Amino acid sequence: MMRSQTYKMLSNFSFILGFASVLGSIAIWFFQGESAPTQDAKNHAELFSIFVGLWTPTFFILSNRLDRYADQSED
């Protein structure tokens, strides 16, 4: 069984990754979509940014769950 500190560290890391996925999604959409030479490339940039943006709730849910495990393992 993992220690409480390990769960807390993983929870914090997942929380940071959630925000990073939001920023990454915006950056992909802005930089790749703006510099795309064709409409097909712009569509790909938009879809890829949506794909990266969909990671956000997963990381936040994982962070919440790991935080709960940390609280349970302290008891």
CB–CB of 67/10 below 8 Å? no
Cα–Cα separations (whole angstroms), residue 32 to 3, 37, 38, 50, 54: 42, 10, 11, 13, 18
Tens of pLDDT, residue by residue over 24-63, are 999 999 988 777 788 888 899 899 999 999 999 999 999 9
Q: What is the b/e burial string over 35-51, where b = at least 16 CB atoms within 10 angstroms of the residue's CB?
A: eeeeeeebeebeeebee
Q: How many helices (H) and strands (E) does the chain have?
A: 4, 0
pTM (2 decimals)? 0.83
**Sequence spans of domains, the chain:** 4-74
Q: pLDDT by residue (tens digit) across 2-30? A: 788 999 999 999 999 999 999 999 999 99
